[in-house]
Structure 1
Amino acid sequence: MVVAESGTARVEPAAVPAPGRPRRPRPWRRRGSEALWGYLLIAPTGLGLAVFYLWPVVQTAYFSFTEWGPFGGHEWIGLDNYRTLAGDGEVLRALGNTALYTGLGLLGIPIAIAFAALLNRRRLRGVSVYRTLFFLPVVTMPVAVAMVWRWLYNGEYGLINYLLSLVGIEGPHWIADPATALYALAAVGIWTSLGYNLVIFLAGMQAIPREYYEAASIDGAGPLAQFRKVTLPLLSPSIFFVSVISVIGSLQLFDLVYVIGGSGQSARSNPAYPRIETVVALFYDKAFHTNDRGYAASIVMALLLLIVVLTAVQFRLQKRWVHYG
């Protein structure tokens, strides 16, 4: 651009447009794109959960309000199954057996803590071998475990009674005796879950900083005092997790009862079966032996409600423990 000024010409540079700022994607568009990709990635898992977990629960809840005929078909009967359930002595007996088994199963928690404390010692040789031996029952098929213990518990030729006979003790018929049947099953359950609980507690103990133990040792605390004042309080999250898992697993006990105690006609020939029949075993008998699937669905829905309530109570107690601790 040329500008005349007092007889002279002055050239001014042409105006250059200011460079435009790069356009940034709008935040809501970026968040929407990320959310879309997130939903696409979890879609296969979500679909599997909906098809194989959520839908069966909804279907079972519907069937609990129906009555099934001997050849399949069902009709809506409302709350009749639940009214029958409330006064059914067989259900109450199975619930009592399940509750006792669950209480006995919680005894495995202090046992697992004790073994984890022993394996946590630095000077103990062959720790990896012991861990493997303890964890073997966890990776073994439950049916195989039950078959082995059924042979061990046999009152006539079982290994346990044979070892007792060597010291002059006549062992009972562990599974056929109503006085010992449930306790024998509880012992198998504790033995089976010991390896899993031990690994959880051992990981929790190894996550505790060594400085805490050193400070407690300087204050004059011995090994037992350190375990009581340092290990147990800091291990409380692991104890809470294991207790929740143990209660849920014990309430769903079925495989040991089915293989060791029997089912159907074989169960009726076992005089101790009424003392070991659990809620899930009763559900299986009603659904597949007597073909009363509507009533069986109401039993399992009541068990689901019981599991939810007990889990909520455990979470509530854990919060109070942490708050007041």
Structure 2
Amino acid sequence: MKTEEKKTGMSWKVKDWIAGYVFIAPVTLGLLVFYIWPFVQNFWFSFNDVNKFNVTHFIGFENYRQLFSDKEVFQTFGNTLKYVVVTVPVGLFLSLVTAALLNSKIKGKSLYRTFYFLPSVTMAAAVAMVWKWVFNEKMGILNALITSFGGPRIGWLTNPKTAIFVVMLVGLWMSVGYNMIILLAGMQGINKSYYEAAEIDGAGPLTRFFKITVPLLTPTIFFVMITSIISGFQVFDVVYMMVLKSNPAYESTQTVVMLFYRQAFDYGYKGYAAAISILIFAVIMLVTLVQFSVQKKWVNY
């Protein structure tokens, strides 16, 4: 064996080591170029005044001082938090119920799964434009239906009280199908013998669902919850397409990512926008760590 290694010039372990690093090189380079380096650069920009040509001028914590004294930041975080608090639990409930129904013995399950999943793979811009037309105050299908019964036209997207809930509805419509597929995969991984034993003992469908499905599906539910909260804090495209800047309901629907986009690309304050993005990252990380802590306590319990 040693003679063969001397002839080849290197051992099999070294060859495996080189082959492994060659295989992971594309992904590693992609992470470095498109994720890690931009994050490091963005973190550095948050301590600088950056002009349109990315020329930096170090100003220390000035962007963060401005950040925590800016009322618009707190308002947009409030709008974003409202979106997350409503869409995450409602979306999780709807996804769980839908997954449970599609996991049962019904005809055409594959067709139903496809229909429910389609909104998740549709372009957000296209979805936003279709729903914007549906809720249009003058030409919308919904208002046309309401007026046909003698009701008044409602400014769904122009009224600050209703616009945010319309955006939440569209967000739920897009996310439920994706979460449903993940939960359905988790349900199909549960051993059928548990249900058979419970059925023999006389447990009904609801009892089996709450006593078997939900406890064994806890890791999947936590995963869906974490990803839903992260995507909720990052909501941008649907709101940006449905509620224009000239809309009276713009302030009540503007999310923190929209504020970041506007500061960076509309006003050119890239350093301040970088500080906003770091704050978003910190909030998401904090919420995720809290969730993992709760998950450990839940499992131990």
TM-score w.r.t. the length of structure 2 is 0.93
Q: 1:115 aligns with which of 84, 98, 103?
A: 98
Question: Corresponding residue for 1:175?
Answer: 157
Question: Corresponding residue for 1:215?
Answer: 197
Distance 1:22 1:93, change over 3 A: closer
Query: CA–CA distance in 1 between the matches of 2:50 and 2:5?
Result: 59
SS in structure 1 at match of 2:55: strand
Query: CA–CA distance in 2 between the matches of 1:39 and 1:82?
Result: 40
Question: Corresponding residue for 1:197?
Answer: 179
* Per-residue deviation, 1:168: 4.0
* Per-residue deviation, 1:125: 0.9
Question: Corresponding residue for 1:256?
Answer: 238
Q: Summarize deviations over 1:35-67 as a string: whole Å, max 9, x none.
A: 222111111110111001111101111111111
Does 1:186 find its partner at 2:163?
no
Question: Corresponding residue for 1:128?
Answer: 110
Question: Corresponding residue for 2:139?
Answer: 157
Q: Summarize deviations over 1:274-301 as a string: whole Å, max 9, x none.
A: 1110111000110111111110110011
Question: Corresponding residue for 1:54?
Answer: 36
Question: Corresponding residue for 2:226?
Answer: 244
Q: 2:251 aligns with which of 259, 274, 278?
A: 274
* Per-residue deviation, 1:245: 0.8
CA RMSD of aligned residues (A): 1.9
Query: CA–CA distance in 1 between the matches of 2:92 and 2:5?
Result: 54
Does 1:85 find its partner at 2:62?
no
Query: CA–CA distance in 2 between the matches of 1:316 and 1:24?
Result: 52
Question: Corresponding residue for 1:296?
Answer: 273
Count of aligned pairs between the two proteins: 297
Distance 1:70 1:42, change over 3 A: closer
Query: CA–CA distance in 1 between the matches of 2:258 and 2:128?
Result: 15
SS in structure 2 at match of 1:180: helix
* Per-residue deviation, 1:323: 0.6
Question: Corresponding residue for 1:18?
Answer: none
Which consecutive unaligned segments of at least 5 residues does structure 1 have? 1-20
More helix by share: 2
* Per-residue deviation, 1:166: 3.7
* Per-residue deviation, 1:82: 0.4
Q: Which moved more, 1:170-179 or 1:83-92?
A: 170-179
Distance 1:70 1:260, change over 3 A: same
Question: Corresponding residue for 1:43?
Answer: 25
Query: CA–CA distance in 1 between the matches of 2:181 and 2:271?
Result: 41
Query: CA–CA distance in 1 between the matches of 2:54 and 2:37?
Result: 20
Query: CA–CA distance in 2 between the matches of 1:159 and 1:58?
Result: 47
2:138–2:153 CA contact under 8 A, matched in 1: no
Distance 1:168 1:231, change over 3 A: farther
Query: CA–CA distance in 2 between the matches of 1:206 and 1:72?
Result: 51
TM-score w.r.t. the length of structure 1 is 0.87
2:236–2:257 CA contact under 8 A, matched in 1: yes
Which consecutive unaligned segments of at least 5 residues does structure 2 have? none
Question: Corresponding residue for 2:297?
Answer: 320
Letter in 1 for 2:259: L
* Per-residue deviation, 1:248: 0.7
Letter in 1 for 2:297: R
2:179–2:224 CA contact under 8 A, matched in 1: yes
Query: CA–CA distance in 1 between the matches of 2:271 and 2:73?
Result: 15
2:117–2:177 CA contact under 8 A, matched in 1: yes
The percent identity for this pair of structures is 46
Letter in 1 for 2:158: A
Letter in 2 for 1:113: L
Distance 1:211 1:81, change over 3 A: same
